Amino acid sequence: MTKVMVAIASGSEEIEAVSIIDVLRRAEIMVDVVSIEANKRLDIVASRGVKLMADIHISEIDAADYDMLVLPGGVPGSEAFRDCESLIAMLKQRKAKQWLAAICAAPAVVLAEHNLLGDAAVTCHPGFQQQLPQNQLSVDRVVVDQPHKLITSQGPGTAIEFSLALIAQLKDQDSADQVAAPMVLA
């Protein structure tokens, strides 16, 4: 079964986190919501005050078990990801078969900061685009770079589109379309 890790931290963007989790689960993809909080805390307060509960703590997972690692954006959530040594180690040790996905501030604040973009085409929230390599920057809402197994997107307004792109890569476009139809996206 396809398995995805969605990291959360205090200050993560709730629309992005919940959209990703929800849409992937609609596609019958197994999703572990993983907290990076100190003291193995599973609960977080997201960027707009919404309380979220993780399934498991980062100290209890093996990143190699996942087909995709996903980072919602938001500030200070993305900054917490950037500063989490165990998460960064997992991202740097990502297997060639694993996808990496990030939205909003996360592509710039986390991936660019730790040189995890390679020469992939990328996007992020317009407010952070100056932090990305300009020769790799796309203004598209969602960017799928298949050779680098990297998917990036711009923000809360693109979260469902981003999530459907994740399904299309993990499964296929037909699966993404089947999830989109009852959500009245077409």
Is 104 known to be catalytic?
Answer: yes
pLDDT average, residue stretch 81-96: 97
pLDDT tens digit sequence for 56-66:
999 999 999 99
Cα–Cα distance, 9 to 44 (Å, whole number): 6
| pTM of the model as a whole | 0.98
What percent of the chain lies above the pLDDT cut of 90? Answer: 98
Q: Is the pLDDT of residue 165 over 80?
A: yes
Please report the pLDDT score of residue 186 as a whole number: 63
Cα–Cα distance, 18 to 24 (Å, whole number): 10
Cβ contacts of residue 146 below 8 Å, gap of 6+? 169
Contact indicator for 13, 156 with CB cutoff of 8 Å: yes
Which of 52, 84, 104, 105 is catalytic? The answer is 104
Question: Which CATH code fits 3-179?
Answer: 3.40.50.880
DSSP for the chain, please give it. --EEEEEE-TT--HHHHHHHHHHHHHTT-EEEEEE--GGG--EEE-TTS-EEE-SEEGGG--GGG-SEEEE---TTHHHHHHH-HHHHHHHHT--TT-EEEEETTHIIIIIITTT--TT--B---GGGGGGS-TTTB--SSEEEETTTTEEEE-SGGGHHHHHHHHHHHHS-HHHHHHHHGGGT--
Please report the pLDDT score of residue 5 as a whole number: 98
Confidence of residue 112 (pLDDT cuts 50, 70, 90): very high
